Structure 1
Amino acid sequence: MTAVAVKDLLEPDAPPPVAVDENGRSAQTFLVEVVVRSGGNKRRASAGGQDIYAISAPLVVEAVRRVVNGLVHGTGVFTAGEAFDARDFLESLRQEHLALDMP
């Protein structure tokens, strides 16, 4: 997240993003990239798309669906990556506005 984005979020009169399509998504784009190294091995995964808020709700709903259906690995408090199989979880979110690259 850039300093400009944080500044925008802190402005009390900042306008919400403007919808640019029939689904109400903004023109903003996002990219999340993860690189994991262990010993001499390196793995990379990325997810990106248009309007990160358009994927936030499906992400929460999928997590809740899995919790309610008993698909959680373990008990207690943990991240989604610990609670569910990460690849399966992310692939369940595939939509036209979410691109995944998990070689």
Structure 2
Amino acid sequence: AGGVTLPIVPGIMLQPNFTGLKRISALCGASVPHWLERLYEGLEEDDETRDLVTATVAAELCHKLHERGVRDFHFYTLNRASLALSTCRLLGLKPKTAKAA
């Protein structure tokens, strides 16, 4: 309706630091839902569980967007390749392995 002719690709931020996520959201004028804040409660010192929560929430969001017709996603990895890989695995995506020549 606004005349945009290029595809709009949603950005999925893989941010396991909830304090950082709230700060970035506030800078953008957005809010973080209470259910998401509750998922991160008490995980300040538990990196492994925070990463699991982050990858799961991101994958669920991608599934919901896919159900609504979105086919492309941009992951903001914040230099966390393992977290991006975990999210992709939850989405059923695996890296192709190279065959030795």
Same fold (TM over 0.5): no
Q: Taking structure 1 as the reference length, what is the TM-score of the superposition?
A: 0.28
**Which structure is higher in RCO with an 8 Å CA cutoff and minimum separation 6?**
2
TM-score, with structure 2 as normaliser: 0.28
Larger fraction in helix:
2
